[in-house]
Structure formats: C-alpha cells, structure tokens
Amino acid sequence: MTIISPGPDTEKSMVALLHKGDQAAFCKIYDEYAPPLLAIIRHIAGDDTLADEILRNAFVRIWAERPAYNPAVERLFNWMLRLARTVAQTMTAQAAAGKGAERHTPLQEPITDEENQMLLYLVFFRGYNIERVATELNTTPELAKIKVINAMKQLKGKWVA
C-alpha cells in the first residue's frame, strides 16, 4: 500500500504559515491530518458522534496552542497527535462520567493476535495510559511500559526497515 504523506518541504512551509496565523494554511493542515487523526480518535472515543466533537475541539486547540509547537523537536503530525489524544482522553472520560457508566466497549480483538500488536493497539488506538495497560496485562506499570516500548521497536523494524 502506498501511503501519501506530505514531504518535509511542504510541512515546513505549512508550519511557517501556521506560526504566522494563516487560516488558509490551517485549512490545508486540517485536510492533510484530520483523516489519520480521526482514525485514532474514533478508537479512543468508541462513538463516532463523540469522535467528531473531539476532532472539532482538537483542531481548535491545535490552533490556539500553535505557538507551543517546536519544529526542532518533532514533526507536526506527532505534536498534533499528542494534543488530539489528550483532548480525546479528557472528553471520553467526561462523556463516560456523564453517562455514569464505563463507555468503552469490552476489549475487542486487536488487529492481529500478537501481543505486541495488542499492546500498541491499547496505547495508540484506545488511548490507554500505562497504568491501564498494566491492569489489562496483570503486571506492574514498569513492566508494561517496557513491553509497550519493545512492541513499538518491533513495529518500527517492520514498517521502516
């Protein structure tokens, strides 16, 4: 599968415009990154209507907090993803509290049955923090963290090698 993502020059020019407060550039950034972000947000929210609200709020926050993005540290996608996940986790927790019940559906079959994939699935798609992964695996947070990191390393070997 070919996966198109913007080249470094395109991203650089978009970031420059974003820092200047260019709303048209922000539209382009939305078009580019909203689809992959929404995929992840939907998994965390477990509800498509809530996911839409999260996406809306996430992009408003991305705009509001754009001065905090430092291109020397990470790519724009990573910064946006970290911010979107924070919004998704907060709003999903609020929605669950409002309903007075656990909103997440029971743990579904992960993408593959390998434990590594499942760990990444929990963290990346379901937005679990390390404590929750540890509970799920019936282990300590320290061990859970090492396992997740190892899973990420293996995945990196598979996708980027």
Of residues 80, 85, 158, the one with CA closest to residue 117: 158
Could you say whether residue 145 binds other proteins (CB under 8 A)? Answer: yes
Q: Which residues of 72-98 are buried (b: 16+ CB within 10 A; e: fewer)?
A: eeeebbebbbebbbebbbebbeebeee
Question: Among 86, 90, 112, 140, which residue sits at the site for other proteins (rule: CB under 8 A)?
Answer: 86
Could you say whether residue 4 binds other proteins (CB under 8 A)? Answer: yes
Structural tokens at position 57: 């709020």
Q: How many residues bind other proteins (CB under 8 A)?
A: 52
Give the Å distances, CA to CA, from 94 to 83, 124, 146.
17, 20, 29
Binding marks (x or -) toward other proteins, 7..26, rule CB under 8 A?
--------------x-x--x
Where does this chain bind other proteins (CB under 8 A)? Answer: 1, 3-5, 21, 23, 26-27, 30-31, 34-40, 42, 49, 52, 55-56, 59-60, 63-64, 70, 72-75, 77-78, 81-82, 85-86, 123-124, 129-130, 145-146, 148-150, 152-153, 155-156, 159-160
